[in-house]
Amino acid sequence: MIRNFEILRLKKAGMSNLGILKLIDYQERHEAKLTLRQLARIAEVKAVPNFIESYKSQDVKRLREQYKTFPSFSILDDIYPEWLKEMYNPPTLLFYQGNLK
């Protein structure tokens, strides 16, 4: 299952928001473990080899440090606003400042 940090990695590698939404939908219906190439095909990435190269060349440690610097939540989290889910192409990952309460 895709988690928040993985959403960030896919976005940084060039996957579109709509592509990530397609992946989330697919994984809700199937439990198979997918290769990076399969993920790219499901998400309808246009340049699959470029996407895979970009994904594999990421500095994961540095990216995780950046990720931890800014609080975030995703469309998979309970805190995600329902009204955002109802719009076309809702953002899959949101960063915020301050207190959410």
Cα separations in angstroms, 22 against 2, 40, 64, 69? 11, 10, 24, 28
Q: What is the pLDDT of residues 78-92, one digit of tens each?
A: 999 999 999 999 999
Could you give the residue ranges of the DSSP H alpha helices within 1-101?
4-12, 17-29, 36-42, 48-56, 60-69, 82-85
pLDDT for residue 1: 72
pLDDT for residue 40: 98
Instruction: Say which residue the tokens 């997918």 belong to.
Output: 34
Q: What is the pLDDT of residues 1-59, one digit of tens each?
A: 789 999 999 999 999 999 999 999 999 999 889 999 999 999 999 999 999 999 999 99
What pTM does this model have? 0.90
pLDDT for residue 98: 85
DSSP line for 35-54: -HHHHHHHTT-SSHHHHHHH
pLDDT for residue 79: 94
User: Which one has a higher pLDDT value, 98 or 93?
Assistant: 93
Cα separations in angstroms, 43 against 14, 40, 64, 67, 83? 11, 5, 23, 23, 24
Residue 48, C-beta contacts closer than 8 angstroms, at least 6 positions apart: 37, 40, 41
pLDDT for residue 62: 97
Q: What is the pLDDT of residues 57-72, one digit of tens each?
A: 999 999 999 999 999 9
